[in-house]
Structure formats: structure tokens, C-alpha cells
Amino acid sequence: KQEVTQIPAALSVPEGENLVLNCSFTDSAIYNLQWFRQDPGKGLTSLLLIQSSQREQTSGRLNASLDKSSGRSTLYIAASQPGDSATYLCAVIPYNAGNNRKLIWGLGTSLAVNP
Amino acid sequence: GAGVSQSPRYKVAKRGQDVALRCDPISGHVSLFWYQQALGQGPEFLTYFQNEAQLDKSGLPSDRFFAERPEGSVSTLKIQRTQQEDSAVYLCASSLAGRPNGNQPQHFGDGTRLSIL
């Protein structure tokens, strides 16, 4: 059974720092891995999607890497800003999902960037 | 709008009442998902539609939960005889692809926050 773990559960940093969020998954047979952002009381915003054949994806100050063989992904946020404060969740689609592409989720990392 | 729309944003009901939650996916998206997110937890899968066909309902916690997507567009999640443990945020997501595909993200609505008193 696929399980997704995120470390740390919470992180507080001063503005301007570069930071890394970690995600690990137990079964390397995945279609893809997605990183999402969730603001309080809001839904989920997709940040980056990495296909199983890819090693990394970049969008602005965000860079996500994927090491499928070791079951790990990292989300790198450069030059953090107070507006980056949110909960960051990673999720995978297991390869054995068949016709169902349901996401299996971590519990998230709650990030606070202090001015 | 261009995104996934859910209504209502907030719903308060008394225990035992029936509720209906609506999801308008992105136009043309084949796949539609419902997830349940308890406070401080990640989302948990409930059910999946490919067009109007409900291909997986393995995540529905009991037979009080029912979902439909009769015309392959708008979907409704209905909860009968609500219980306090049903209190959660219910998220809807849609995706363009209808088959397992590595490059199609799921796009989420803002959710419906359900509180059962």
C-alpha cells in the first residue's frame, strides 16, 4: 500500500531564506508526483507536476525534484517571501491505480515565512 | 470562471439532515474526483468519475454517501442522515485526461466546509 510522508510537519523561517520541503513515498511505481499549496480555508493549488520519467520541474522560485528509485521528492523554494506562507502537500498517483488516478497524499508541511 | 467551482462554500446542518454538495468541473474535463479532508489531515479519496461513469467509489465511507454525475459535467455529492464525523472539507477536482496519464494535473475547487451540529 502506497504511503506518503512529509517532513517537516511545520517550518518557520525568516524572509529571504532558501528552503527545502521533503516528501517520501513507499512504492516507487507511480505515474506522477504533484506538489500543491493550500491556504487556510481554501482549496488546493497545483504548483508542480513531475512525471515518473522526469527528474525535476521548475516554476519561478520553485523547483521540485524526483528520485523515484529512492521514493523521494523535494520542493525547493528560493528567496522565500511572507506570501509563501501556506501548507504544502505532495501527492502521488500509484501506477497500479488502473482507471482511477486518485491521488495518495502526505499530511503536508505548514510553512510560515516571517517578515 | 475557468476553474473548478464548488457550492456552497460553507454548510451547517443538524445531525440527521441530508446535504447535497455541488461541483462544477473545468469545461471539457473528463475525470472528476471527490476527496474528504479532515482538519489537519491530507485529503482522502472518496470517488472517481470518468464522464458520467462512476468507476471507483471505494473511498465512500458508508452507504449514506452517494455521488452522481449524470451528464458527465456537474457532479453532486449527497450525504444522507449526516453524523458529526461527516464534518470536514469536501474537495472536488477535475482533470482533462480520462485514462491514467502522467502529465495531467488535477485541478481543485475551494471546497465545501461541512459542519454537522
Q: Can you give the pLDDT of all 115 residues of chain A as single tens digits?
A: 889 999 999 999 999 999 999 999 999 988 889 999 999 878 889 999 998 899 999 999 999 999 999 999 999 999 999 999 999 999 998 876 565 667 899 999 999 999 9
Distance linking the first and last C-alpha atoms of chain A = 41
Which pLDDT score is estimated for B104?
Answer: 77
pLDDT attached to residue B97: 77
Residue A82: Cβ-neighbour burial (10 angstroms; 0-12, 13-18, 19+): exposed
* Alpha-carbon A19 to chain mean position: 13
Check residue B11 and give its pLDDT.
97
The answer to whether the CB atoms of B106 and A103 lie below 8 A apart is yes
Of B48, B103, B108, the CB nearest to A49: B103
Which residues does chain A have within 8 Å of residue B113's beta carbon, measured at their own beta carbons? 41
How far does the CA of residue A43 sit from the closest CA of chain B (Å)? 4
Identify the band that residue B102 occupies on the pLDDT scale cut at 50, 70 and 90: low
Say what the pLDDT of residue B101 is.
59
Considering only CB atoms, which chain A residues are within 8 Å of B91?
43-44
Q: Give residue B32's pLDDT.
A: 94
Query: Across the interface, do A101 and B105 touch by the CB < 8 Å criterion?
Result: no
| Least CB–CB distance from A101: residue in B31, B108, B109 | B31
Q: What is the per-residue pLDDT for B36?
A: 95
Mutate: best of B39, B95, B96, B103, partner A, most A CBs <10 A: B103
Interface touch B42/A32, C-beta < 8 Å: no
> Is any Cβ of chain A less than 8 angstroms from the Cβ of B68?
no
Give the pLDDT of residue B30. 92
Asked if the model's pLDDT at residue B100 lies above 60, the reply is: no
The band of B77, judged by pLDDT with boundaries at 50, 70 and 90, is very high
Q: Helix or strand or coil: residue A100?
A: coil
Q: Which of B106, B107, B113 to mutate to test the interface with A (most CBs of A within 10 A)?
A: B106
What is chain B's mean pLDDT, rounded?
A: 92
Q: What is the pLDDT of residue A100?
A: 62
- Measured between CA atoms, the residue of chain B closest to residue A10 is B40
Burial of B90 (0-12, 13-18, 19+ CB in 10 A): buried
Considering only CB atoms, B56 lies closest to which of A43, A102, A107, namely A102
Give tens-digit pLDDT for B10-55.
999 999 999 999 999 999 999 999 999 998 888 899 999 999 999 9
Could you give the CA distance from residue B77 to residue B66 in angstroms, rounded to a whole number? 6
pLDDT tier at B81, thresholds 50, 70, 90: very high
